[in-house]
Amino acid sequence: MDQLTISNRLYGRDRDMATLLASFERISSGHGEILLVPGLSGVGKTALVQELQVPIRERNGFFIRGKFDQYQQNIPYFAFRQALAELCRELQSGDEQQRSRFKADIIEAVGSLGQVLVDLVPEFEAFLGAQPPLEDISPQEARHRFAGVCRNFLKVVCWPEHPLVLFLDDWQWADAASCDLLRQLEVGTTLRYLVVIVSYRDSEVRSGHPLMIAIDDLRSHAVPVEVLHVENITAHDVQEMVADTLQPAAADVEELTALIYGKTLGNPFFVRSFLSFLHEFDLIWFDKARNCWRWRTGLIDGGGPARRLGRAVRPETPPPG
């Protein structure tokens, strides 16, 4: 019991989940769109979007994810590669009839350019077989060819029977080629049963960022672009998280919550980091005699180890999400 197990449940996200599910309903009806999900570091964007996986799979949809990386910005289409590799594995996981149908449809859709998919995701060779070599063309022509192959491939996969959610995380680190591809996918027209969820730290994406330039261009061409801004959770939500974590009970949980909220401002990552810090330094502990969690008011509120609390809620390495 004296081991601290911090609840990983989502708190205060009912309205956000409803927005995500509404987006999925729209694409299921053929109204493809791009959904922007900006928010601060640690606010829980990734965890929120990933909650979509269960209801999507229950509706026979596909949910695939890729994540851009701060140290891999020189690799074109880094997150797209991950997501399409996941989709390739999904397509191969069906029964023999499904695999054969997808294989035949994809080969017909990409024609003699199947090697484009193989170069991007080597797993496609095992699925589609050896592909003819590509003709050498200029880099600009190659980008247009690549975008066309991706569109044709995704059009095969995105149907009313299995709409596709393509979640691409951390766009603040996206490469220029990926931003161009987002423009060229023709979401909402050619790809009607697709939502591309674009998650990013809005504190790092300003008006001149390649992503924002791409989004402005998409809007100017009437591509449906929706926005779900993920905010910190409320003090009430933090209290619920603290109460769920400090089971079976905590002394003066309202006062403890007020202190935690004051330090973290309701950022879910920071709340969990702060609770871990308090437990590590014995500022909260389980009192077996009273069968409840207790805490040291003065030390948490400003004395003793509290001088180090800033590191617990503002780590040098930015958190995920």
pLDDT along the chain (321 residues), means of 10: 84 97 96 98 96 92 96 94 96 90 95 95 95 91 94 95 96 95 96 98 92 96 97 97 93 92 95 93 91 79 52 49 60
Q: Which residues in 286-303 are b (16+ Cβ under 10 Å) and which e?
A: beeeeeebbbbeebbeee
| Predicted pLDDT at 94 | 82
pLDDT tens-digit map of 185-199: 999 999 999 999 999
| Predicted pLDDT at 66 | 98
**Cα(98)–Cα(133) distance, integer angstroms:** 27
pLDDT tens-digit map of 40-73: 999 999 999 999 999 999 999 999 999 999 999 9
| Predicted pLDDT at 319 | 58
Helix ranges restricted to H, the chain: 14-28, 45-50, 53-58, 78-92, 96-110, 114-120, 123-128, 139-157, 176-184, 210-220, 235-245, 253-264, 268-280, 297-301, 309-313
| Predicted pLDDT at 95 | 87
Q: Would you say the C-alpha torsion 282, 287, 288, 291 has a positive or negative sign? A: negative
| Predicted pLDDT at 146 | 95
Residues 6+ apart with CB under 8 A from 93: none
Topology adopted by domain 14-227? Rossmann fold (3.40.50)
Q: What is the DSSP string of 94-117?
A: S-HHHHHHHHHHHHHHHGGGHHHH
**How far, CA to CA in Å, does 162 sit from each of 30, 66, 91, 272, 275?**
11, 19, 11, 36, 41
pTM summary value: 0.91
